[in-house]
Amino acid sequence: MTTIGVLQMTSGVNPEANLAVIENAAKQCAERGALMLFTPEMSLLLDRDRARAREWIESDAPADMIERISTIAAKQHLDIVVGSMPVPAGGGRWANRSYYFHPDLAPPVIYDKMHMFDVALASGEAWRESAAYAPGEEVVTVEETPIGRLGLTICYDLRFPALFGALGDRRCDAIAVPAAFTRPTGAAHWHVMLRARAIEASAFIIAAAQVGKHEDGRETYGHSLVVDPWGEVLLDMGGDEPGLAFCEIDHRRIAEVRAQVPSLANRREIARS
């Protein structure tokens, strides 16, 4: 059994304040004996005002923030999965980038969100992530973690089963799905999709989420979840408040489920006409 910490946040426009929340959570994880900490999408900066965000993103601050989180991971002897933060990607655009920090001060593993959130909802909310962000191109796994092989995804990626199929093909033991889901889409789809992805991949899903009303005016759904390979919800942090919760990951559950329903082994290529 491995204890993990899941951080549900209401991130704002002040990266230093957001970092302080993560650092405090890391200390609590170390005190509790947790070996990993998972944070949501846009943990360090959640700001829909792109002109204001640009001042921070295109400065030296993101690189400094990465170095500081690496130091926190080392100090607390903790693996930290920062769900994502915005960083420059060249060509005048940014990347929505996830970081996996090992406690040994090795360079972090990075994953850039592949699917851009370009939607117009019936509620009137409209988002065009591709106007500022460049999509990632590579499927990324972290081979050695306290919970086995970990696949990295971010938020809207959840809606694209081909990515999770690729992570299933790599036999991921767990998949991180950090998110900042809107309230309407979260209420409609969040639980059912996360449970489906866990079942399809026969893997744990760990989904740290943003929650509540943010400084930039948006509202997010929350309900950070941990789902086991059978689709059972082990942790649901609710949709009202930020906070830190802990969950036990039983590695034996993966083999048990894959022995009962060997869907990964039975998968066949589907030809597309």
Contact 181, 154 (CB under 8 A): no
Q: Which of 41, 172, 200, 247 is catalytic?
A: 41
Q: Alpha-carbon distance 223 to 207, whole Å?
A: 9
Pairing, β 126-128 against β 141-142: unpaired
155 is catalytic: yes
171: left (phi over 0), alpha (psi -120 to 50) or beta: left
Contact 223, 186 (CB under 8 A): yes
Pairing, β 2-8 against β 243-249: antiparallel
Q: Alpha-carbon distance 4 to 246, whole Å?
A: 6
138 is catalytic: no
41 is catalytic: yes
Q: Which of 29, 129, 155, 247 is catalytic?
A: 155
Q: Which of 23, 27, 55, 113 is catalytic?
A: 113
What amino acid positions are annotated as catalytic residues?
A: 41, 113, 155
